[in-house]
Amino acid sequence: MKPAPFAYAAPRSVEEAAALLAEHGGDARLLAGGQSLVPMLNFRLLEPALLVDINRIAGLDGIAEIAGGLRLGALVRHRMLETSPLIASRFPIIAAAMAEVAHLAIRNRGTIGGSLAHADPAAELPLLALLLEARITAVSTQGRRVIAASDFFTAALTTALAPDEILTEIELPDPPAGSGWGFAELARRAGDFALAAVGVIIAEAGGICRTARIAMAGVGPTPLRAPAAEALLQGGTLDTGAIAAASRAAAAAAQPADDLHASAAYRRHLVEVLTRGALSAAVARARKVVP
Amino acid sequence: MREELRPKLVGARVKRVEDPRLLTGQGSFADDYRPAGMVHVALLRSAYPHARLLRIDTAAARSMAGVVAVFTGDELAEAARPMVATSKMKDYRATAMPMLARGKVRYVGEPVAAVVAASRYIAEDAARRINVDYAPLPAASDPLRAAEASAPLLHEEVRSNIVLSREFARGDAAAAMAAAPLRVGARFRFRRKAVLALENRCYLGDYHRGRRELTLYSATQVPGIVRDALSELMAMPEHLIRVVAADVGGGFGGKASVYPEELLVAVLARRLGRPVKYASDRLEDLLSTSQAFDEIVDAELGVANDGTIAALTAEVVGDVGAYSIYPWTAALEPVQVVSFLPGPYRMPNYRGRVRGVATPKAPLGPYRGVGRPVAAFVMERLIDMAARRLGIDPLAMRRQNFVAAEEFPYRTGSGIIWDRAGFAECLTAVRVALDYDALRRWQKEARAAGRWIGIGFASYAELTGIGSKIPAAPGMPVNTGTETATLRIDPSGSVTAIFGVASHGQGLETTLAQVVADELGVRLEDVRIVQGDTAGRAYTTGTYASRSAVLAGGAGKLAAAALREKVLRAAAHLLEAHVDDLVAEGSRVAIRGTDRSLSFREIARSVYLQFGRMPPELQEELEATKLYDPQFGTTSSATHAAVVEIDPETFDVRVLRYVVAEDCGRVINPMIVDGQVHGGVAQGIGAALLEELVYDGEGQLLSGSLMDYLVPSAAEIPPMEVIHIEAESPTTLGGFRGMGEGGTIGAPAAIANAVTDALAPLGIEVTELPVTPERLYRLVEAARRKE
């Protein structure tokens, strides 16, 4: 289990890295935390000619406040998301979900940019990007563009990034004021990829649901939103019946497949259970029933 | 102080003497040896479950820079004989396991060609450039299909995939079953499990051309068996072969067999005249290390209305994989299921039949518990099924049917003898520790509040410390029933104790030192245990089958007693005292009741450096060698209790509490016994809830990484309470019983019973392990559809 031979470069700037990608295109791979890439190299599932290590590029590991949200560098580690006071106060759902990601050693190395670019359909950060309507910046020698999370995940392990593009930062717009969140996941063991995970954001005004977002992971080729379920909630009261109906609609929107660990039917069942739990928690938080 | 009042090391929680070395990265594992000139092996392994080998083109691989040599099975055909595990068992069909495949491949992962190169990286690059033309053959991956007469044959020469069958019978099981007022039964399935030691298998062969000596550094539990095998397979006298298993990172049975890769590096080292290393990676470990369980058991229990067991019948099909593991044979695991199925219970009528079926999978082999985890799963489930139907408490039903104290020694339905053992004492201890009646009340309240709580038990008995009158594997011609210890005192007065056993984590350097130090009268720190090396022994096998504490402990006691006599004789001369007045203690010999004494160092220096001053009859080395043979074996037993909670919506299972009361006779080191129980139970919980090697219908392994093959982590393992019951063994020296395997035997059954108990309101019986959330979902859905 040794990787095939590869060349290695450690550029000091995004421009330098972009130039390397422009030159090598699909034969090159970016190395950030390496928590998915290195095992794939060792299994020889990937045999890139060049590894471009972006860990030495300065300025990609910050969490900064911007108007109406936060900006995260691509090299922000899972562990930083888990422990950052800024994340805890502005996006507590991220901090909570990070505790479900793998194990501490992996969270210390893994990055948000790497997780989004790797696009594992059962991973937490792609789900959160979709739920929080993140805007993802990609840079190449051709320039820079911003991709909406809803356009970013195109298939299993596949994104809208071109082979010569580097994911450099992620902008997270603040959720509506007074909103509540919920996150629920089931994995076989602590730290495993989710059999199913659900994240929700809801906001109420005058007893009426104004915003409802539901995103799920592990139950399709990409993380998924559940628009029909969201529509059921919006404009209505968030009572038990509505939550149950939305949870059923979310389960209907899932696109699970059978695999070694769970059948599609069980995963769909889990989506309903987890959505119900996440929505109930979100309503309680929005209503300040829980701290 | 009188001898019997002295503080003893045996029984004390002595800290493991090997741990400072192992915990600070100073161990010597096979992969740590890097002799000058060493080259590395990478193996090309079969991607096909069953295929004819048409042509293997190694030219491109050979031509790569850094490649030393490339070999196929045909090219090494003359270098070693194929491994054939033989047995005197009737209805066992011996098959050969090649070092590298010849003619055809029989499982995915079977070694096909070996590349030797300057580095493992280069070797793997080159292995990818070997071209093999396979002609795929049909294969039956499902053992029931493979057992059919029309199934494609894996080993044509034995004309059937059923490579072994055996039957045990006592009384008239059919008649007793027919007459039984209550019969409970099911088809039970325990899925295939990986052994999964922390250290992968690793072998380093080093051949000295000048002296024609071969040294094999091996991650093995059985250096002695490996040495004997190499001698026979490579036609070399044993005094030219040394097998060293210095530090080994876990074995659990997976390192108790001789492997093709082990023979291969020895053959390559001899052929190339330079050190050759093969280190398995995790994928190769999952593909090719011997595997566990995988039996289908159709079993039925006949019970009287008062709960008395009348009869047990079982038909077992064991999926033994492609090859018969050397030297234990494919019979080891499935036959033990049938021979241990009656458990610790009085069983007047029994019939157990087993068939072992070859399939295109990695070979089945010994795994912690061997057969007994599956036997206990089936038997303990049957007991609970019957108890529930009769409205009898499961603990009461067990207790009522246990072989009673006055019935020992008791011959079981399959002919195993239980010597006096603490079956009832263990059960009672668990009942008390649980505060059972209060626990059941709490369960009732929790159920009323919507929680799915289950309480499950498992009682079992196992034969440990097996002597030379019983083969460790059915009909196996290797003697595993003796162990020899050599103890010597050097001029500095320190003690070297040489054993044939091979610790792979169980702390034998500590426990054997405790036994030797107590018997010899020296301090623990003055004893060094040498083990895991064939150089010190004429004949040895290794560590497996819960034998080392009993056999090596017994040999150590005998040798220490003999050596103490020598020391006391010398001291009597030096102190001008009578031997009967002397006492050895704390590395000194003293005249009882006086302040006159000599240290072992003073005695040893007098003996060795002033031989001339000793009378001729005392001119002897301070050394003793003694062999110990417990003849039969001794019974270890336990009762386990698990309390589980199932999430009623996600079907996630949590183990809330775990209690073990076990009887391993006299406990040498309670801390080490606790550790063995903890580890064994953790493996048993993994087997019950998580771990499953999944092969598809064609024989492709789907769970080939630790992302897909799920072992429990600390987060899945509850704190455990362990209670030691010391019912002294009348049959073994020192009263020791083996205890390395029990945790894994009891835990799957206890968890299965606890999960079933939690699901009792739905009427669900767990008959398949591991019981995953997916399987629970399907069971619950089916039960709700029925309602």
ipTM of this complex: 0.95
Q: What is the pLDDT of residues B404-452, one digit of tens each?
A: 999 999 999 899 999 989 999 999 999 999 999 999 999 999 999 999 9
Residue where a domain stops, chosen among B288, B307, B337: B288
Which of left, alpha, beta for B593 (phi over 0: left; psi -120 to 50: alpha)?
left
Q: Which domain holds residue A251?
A: 180-286
Q: What is the pLDDT of residues B141-164, one digit of tens each?
A: 999 999 999 999 999 999 999 999
B151 within a domain of the structure (yes/no): no
Q: Reduced to 3 DSSP states, what percent helix, strand and coil does chain B have, rounded to the nearest 5?
A: 35, 25, 40
Q: Is the pLDDT of residue B105 over 50?
A: yes
Do B684 and B612 lie in one domain? The reply is no
Inter-chain CB proximity A188 and B773 less than 8 Å: yes
Do B308 and B406 lie in one domain? The reply is yes
Tell me, what CATH number does B232's domain have? 3.90.1170.50
* Cβ atoms B193, B293 nearer than 8 A: yes
Do A167 and A184 lie in one domain? The reply is no
What tokens were used for A284? Answer: 């309680």
Tell me, what CATH number does A81's domain have? 3.30.465.10
Instruction: Quote the CA–CA distance of B680 and B692 in Å, as a whole number.
Output: 17
Contacts of residue B777 in chain A, CB cutoff 8 Å?
263, 265-266, 269
- For residue B777, give the nearest of A2, A188, A266 by CB distance: A266
Instruction: Quote the CA–CA distance of A257 and A267 in Å, as a whole number.
Output: 8
Predicted pLDDT of residue A290: 62
What tokens were used for B155? Answer: 């080993």
* Cβ atoms B301, B339 nearer than 8 A: no
Contacts of residue B702 in chain A, CB cutoff 8 Å?
260
Please give, rounded to a whole number of angstroms, the shortest distance from the CA of B44 to a CA of chain A: 12
Contacts of residue A266 in chain B, CB cutoff 8 Å?
773-774, 777-778
Do B532 and B613 lie in one domain? The reply is yes
Predicted pLDDT of residue B352: 98
* Cβ atoms B638, B742 nearer than 8 A: yes
- For residue A260, give the nearest of B121, B694, B716 by CB distance: B694
Instruction: Quote the CA–CA distance of B479 and B457 in Å, as a whole number.
Output: 36
- For residue A189, give the nearest of B125, B710, B778 by CB distance: B710
Residue where a domain stops, chosen among A152, A173, A194: A173
Mean pLDDT of A167-191: 96
Inter-chain CB proximity A270 and B650 less than 8 Å: yes
Do A32 and A107 lie in one domain? The reply is no
Instruction: Quote the CA–CA distance of A15 and A156 in Å, as a whole number.
Output: 29
What tokens were used for B134? Answer: 């396979």
Do A152 and A214 lie in one domain? The reply is no
Burial A262-286 (b: 16+ CB within 10 A, else e): beeebbbbbbbbbbbbbbbbbbebb
Q: What is the DSSP letter of B245?
A: -
Q: How many CB pairs under 8 A join A and B?
A: 60
Q: Which domain holds residue B347?
A: 291-468+631-786
E strand spans, B280-330: 291-303, 309-321
3-state DSSP assignment of residue B733: helix
Inter-chain CB proximity B772 and A190 less than 8 Å: no
Q: Is B121 on the interface with A (CB under 8 A)?
A: yes
Residue where a domain stops, chosen among B628, B655, B684: B628
Helix ranges (H only) for B14-157 are 19-23, 59-62, 120-127, 143-146
Query: What angle in degrees, to the nearest 10, is found between the helix axes of B773-786 and A264-286?
Result: 90
What tokens were used for B709? Answer: 């093959």
3-state DSSP assignment of residue B780: helix
Contacts of residue A190 in chain B, CB cutoff 8 Å?
713, 715-716
Do A272 and A242 lie in one domain? The reply is yes
Contacts of residue A3 in chain B, CB cutoff 8 Å?
121
Tell me, what CATH number does A249's domain have? 3.30.390.50
Q: Which of A44, A32, A39, A35 is nearest to A6 (CA)?
A: A44
- For residue B777, give the nearest of A5, A260, A269 by CB distance: A269
Q: What is the pLDDT of residues B237-295, one digit of tens each?
A: 999 999 999 999 999 999 999 999 999 999 999 999 999 999 999 999 999 999 999 99
Predicted pLDDT of residue B637: 96
Do B123 and B75 lie in one domain? The reply is yes
A58 within a domain of the structure (yes/no): no
Do A164 and A217 lie in one domain? The reply is no
Residue the block writes with tokens 């990484």: B705
Residue where a domain stops, chosen among A173, A195, A212: A173
- Chain B residue with minimum CA distance to A274: B650
Mean pLDDT of B342-355: 97
Q: Which residues pair with B134 in a beta bridge?
A: B53
* Cβ atoms B508, B552 nearer than 8 A: yes
Contacts of residue B124 in chain A, CB cutoff 8 Å?
1-2
Predicted pLDDT of residue B554: 97
Cis peptide before B630 (omega within 30 of 0): no
B538 within a domain of the structure (yes/no): yes
Task: Give me the DSSP letters along B528-580.
Answer: EEE-SBGGG-SS---S-TT-HHHHHHHHHHHHHHHHHHHHHHHHHHHHT--GG
Predicted pLDDT of residue B471: 84
Please give, rounded to a whole number of angstroms, the shortest distance from the CA of A48 to a CA of chain B: 14
Predicted pLDDT of residue B77: 95
Residues of A with CB under 8 A from a CB of B: 1-5, 43-44, 186, 188-193, 195, 260-263, 265-266, 269-270, 273-274
Predicted pLDDT of residue B263: 98
- Chain A residue with minimum CA distance to B693: A260
How many independent structural domains does chain A possess? 3
* Cβ atoms B304, B180 nearer than 8 A: yes
Q: Which of B467, B665, B124 is nearest to A5 (CA)?
A: B124
Q: What is the pLDDT of residues B166-205, one digit of tens each?
A: 999 999 999 999 999 999 999 999 999 999 999 999 999 9
* Cβ atoms A194, A220 nearer than 8 A: no
A1 within a domain of the structure (yes/no): no
Please give, rounded to a whole number of angstroms, the shortest distance from the CA of B685 to a CA of chain A: 12
Do B640 and B575 lie in one domain? The reply is no
Q: Which residues pair with B456 in a beta bridge?
A: B642
Quote the mean pLDDT of chain A. Answer: 97
Do A22 and A108 lie in one domain? The reply is no
Inter-chain CB proximity A186 and B773 less than 8 Å: yes
Do A216 and A248 lie in one domain? The reply is yes
Do B443 and B305 lie in one domain? The reply is yes
What tokens were used for B19? Answer: 């741990």
A291 within a domain of the structure (yes/no): no
Do A169 and A257 lie in one domain? The reply is no
A21 within a domain of the structure (yes/no): yes
Predicted pLDDT of residue B475: 87
Contacts of residue B284 in chain A, CB cutoff 8 Å?
1
Predicted pLDDT of residue B614: 85
The residues near B141 (Cβ < 8 Å, ≥ 6 apart) are B49, B359, B360, B361, B695, B696, B697, B698, B699
Q: What is the pLDDT of residues B696-737, one digit of tens each?
A: 999 999 999 999 999 999 999 999 999 999 876 678 999 999
Q: Is B652 on the interface with A (CB under 8 A)?
A: yes
Inter-chain CB proximity B694 and A189 less than 8 Å: no
Do B441 and B385 lie in one domain? The reply is yes
Q: Is the pLDDT of residue B1 over 50?
A: no
- DSSP element (H, E) containing B278: strand B276-279
Tell me, what CATH number does B608's domain have? 3.30.365.10
Burial of B784 (0-12, 13-18, 19+ CB in 10 A): exposed
Instruction: Quote the CA–CA distance of A197 and A271 in Å, as a whole number.
Output: 7
What tokens were used for B500? Answer: 């044939």
Helix ranges (H only) for B24-104 are 59-62
Residues in chain A: 291
Instruction: Quote the CA–CA distance of A194 and A189 in Å, as a whole number.
Output: 9
Predicted pLDDT of residue B22: 96
E strand spans, B605-761: 623-628, 634-646, 653-663, 720-724
Do B306 and B363 lie in one domain? The reply is yes
Residue where a domain stops, chosen among B288, B303, B336: B288
Do A71 and A41 lie in one domain? The reply is no
A234 within a domain of the structure (yes/no): yes
Q: What is the pLDDT of residues A3-33, one digit of tens each?
A: 999 999 999 999 999 999 999 988 999 999 9
Please give, rounded to a whole number of angstroms, the shortest distance from the CA of B703 to a CA of chain A: 8
Predicted pLDDT of residue B536: 86
Please give, rounded to a whole number of angstroms, the shortest distance from the CA of A190 to a CA of chain B: 6
**B473 confidence band (pLDDT: 50, 70, 90):** confident
Q: Which of A182, A184, A204 is nearest to A194 (CA)?
A: A184
Contacts of residue A5 in chain B, CB cutoff 8 Å?
121, 125
Q: What's the CA angle centered on B742, arms B736 and B748, to 5 degrees? A: 170
B189 within a domain of the structure (yes/no): no
Inter-chain CB proximity B121 and A189 less than 8 Å: no
Burial of B280 (0-12, 13-18, 19+ CB in 10 A): buried
Contacts of residue B712 in chain A, CB cutoff 8 Å?
189
Do A184 and A166 lie in one domain? The reply is no
Q: Is B47 on the interface with A (CB under 8 A)?
A: no
Our CA dihedral for B489, B491, B492, B495, rounded to 10 degrees, sits at -10
- Chain A residue with minimum CA distance to B711: A189
Instruction: Quote the CA–CA distance of B712 and B744 in Å, as a whole number.
Output: 13
Tell me, what CATH number does A35's domain have? 3.30.43.10
- For residue A2, give the nearest of B120, B703, B773 by CB distance: B120
Q: Is B125 on the interface with A (CB under 8 A)?
A: yes
Do B340 and B458 lie in one domain? The reply is yes
B50 within a domain of the structure (yes/no): yes
Do A89 and A191 lie in one domain? The reply is no
- DSSP element (H, E) containing B398: helix B394-401
Q: Is B696 on the interface with A (CB under 8 A)?
A: no
Inter-chain CB proximity B125 and A193 less than 8 Å: no
Please give, rounded to a whole number of angstroms, the shortest distance from the CA of A72 to a CA of chain B: 29
Task: Give me the DSSP letters along A224-265.
Answer: EE-HHHHHHHTTS---HHHHHHHHHHHHHH------SS--HH
* Cβ atoms B297, B316 nearer than 8 A: yes
* Cβ atoms A44, A150 nearer than 8 A: no
Mean pLDDT of B312-321: 98
Instruction: Quote the CA–CA distance of B747 and B769 in Å, as a whole number.
Output: 12
Inter-chain CB proximity A260 and B703 less than 8 Å: yes
Do B566 and B661 lie in one domain? The reply is no
Instruction: Quote the CA–CA distance of B658 and B644 in Å, as a whole number.
Output: 9
Inter-chain CB proximity B128 and A195 less than 8 Å: no
What tokens were used for B757? Answer: 């108990």
B187 within a domain of the structure (yes/no): no
Do A185 and A151 lie in one domain? The reply is no
* Cβ atoms A52, A31 nearer than 8 A: yes
How many independent structural domains does chain B possess? 3
**B316 confidence band (pLDDT: 50, 70, 90):** very high
Cis peptide before B49 (omega within 30 of 0): no
Do B521 and B646 lie in one domain? The reply is no
Do B643 and B733 lie in one domain? The reply is yes
Q: Is B283 on the interface with A (CB under 8 A)?
A: yes
Quote the mean pLDDT of chain B. Answer: 96
- Note the Cα A18 to chain centre separation in Å: 24
Inter-chain CB proximity B710 and A188 less than 8 Å: yes
Contacts of residue B773 in chain A, CB cutoff 8 Å?
186, 188, 195, 262, 266
Query: What angle in degrees, to the nearest 10, is found between the helix axes of B436-448 and B423-434?
Result: 50
Instruction: Quote the CA–CA distance of B223 and B540 in Å, as a whole number.
Output: 8
Q: What is the pLDDT of residues A59-100, one digit of tens each?
A: 999 999 999 999 999 999 999 999 999 999 999 999 999 999
Instruction: Quote the CA–CA distance of B632 and B629 in Å, as a whole number.
Output: 8
